[in-house]
Structure 1
Amino acid sequence: MELGNEILKVLNKTYEPLTMVETRFKRYDLVFKTDEAGRPILLFMGQKDENGKIKGERFARRLKEGSSGEILKDHWDNKGKASY
């Protein structure tokens, strides 16, 4: 499973630093962790069960910054099935 352009628009926004953010996107429940700059870096995407845990896929973001802080590489890796 790959992330589509619409969901990447949600994930490219800046949020409160060092927090877990829960939201809903179309038919998916999302939970993502942000880094110290407020960028999502870890994503759990799937369906919430009756206990509030998300069963689905886990994604990790790879960010590589240059010496002056510009982003050189930015992509999401699918880490497989997960529950959070």
Structure 2
Amino acid sequence: RPAPRVRVPHVLALGAAYADAALSRLIGREPQIPLEGVRMARHSMFVNTEKARAELGFSPGPLTAAFERAVRWYESSGYVRVARRADMAAARAA
């Protein structure tokens, strides 16, 4: 699914995330708007791997493999429910 094309002012997204977090606590569900995600979205996060390549011999691999390793780690550490992984596989296939 493509990323949303609508730009939302950060203050509006942050307010919605706080409201969603409060509502989620009241009704006992996971927030639909992750507060940390909204905070992180405000910053451009680009990295340069040249120093790691030169000093450590780092060689970046495919993003898909890195993402799958990260998902497995989050699952094994208890941050993500296993059922969600099946949902992600189905979404990737679509």
Q: TM-score, normalised by structure 1?
A: 0.22
Using CA pairs under 8 Å that are at least 6 residues apart, name the structure with larger relative contact order, 1 or 2.
Answer: 1
Q: Judging by fraction of residues, say which structure has more helix.
A: 2
Higher strand share: 1
How high is the TM-score relative to the length of structure 2?
A: 0.21
| Bigger Rg, which one | 2
